[in-house]
């Protein structure tokens, strides 16, 4: 019984550490609230948020989140599960025009 409790505690601790590490690599976060994008963390130009919003509206996405994730010195896009694959590629195309 003690091993089961210890195993569960270790798994929970690993999940918490994983979540904290992934959240700390997010440079910016845009959340969709009723189809409206809201920048909740970091800074990106309003024009970029507007263009990303247009893509999301075109694909009918009403909720979810986009993340600017630091990878190898660059900022890549991350997505919540509610954003469909076809929409993700269109968002990457927009982001590639603005990423530095």
Q: How far apart are CA 41 and CA 27, in angstroms?
A: 7
Long-range contacts of 39-48 (CB under 8 A, 24+ apart): 42/68, 44/68, 44/98, 45/98, 47/98, 48/94, 48/95, 48/98
Q: How confident is the model at residue 90 (pLDDT cuts 50, 70, 90)?
A: very high
Looking at residue 12, its pLDDT comes to 86
What's the pLDDT tens digit per position in 59-78?
988 889 999 988 878 888 89
Task: List, for residues 6-57, the tens digit of each pLDDT value.
Answer: 888 888 888 876 665 555 578 889 998 887 888 889 888 888 888 988 999 9
Predicted model pTM: 0.68
CA distance 67 to 77: 6
Domain spans of the chain?
Answer: 26-98
* pLDDT for residue 89 is more than 90: yes
pLDDT of residue 21: 57
Quick one: pLDDT at residue 88?
Answer: 93
Cα–Cα distance list, 33 to 30, 49, 60, 65 (Å) = 10, 14, 13, 9
pLDDT at 48 (0 to 100): 87
């Amino acid at each position: 019984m003690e091993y089961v409790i210890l195993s569960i505690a270790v798994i929970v601790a690993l999940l918490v550490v994983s979540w904290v590490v992934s959240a700390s690599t997010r440079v910016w976060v845009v959340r969709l609230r009723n189809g409206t994008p809201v920048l909740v963390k970091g800074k990106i130009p309003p024009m970029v948020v507007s263009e990303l919003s247009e893509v999301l509206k075109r694909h009918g996405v009403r909720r979810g989140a986009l993340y600017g994730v630091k990878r190898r010195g660059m900022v890549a896009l991350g997505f919540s599960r509610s954003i469909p694959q076809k929409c993700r590629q269109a968002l990457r195309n927009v982001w590639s025009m603005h990423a530095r």
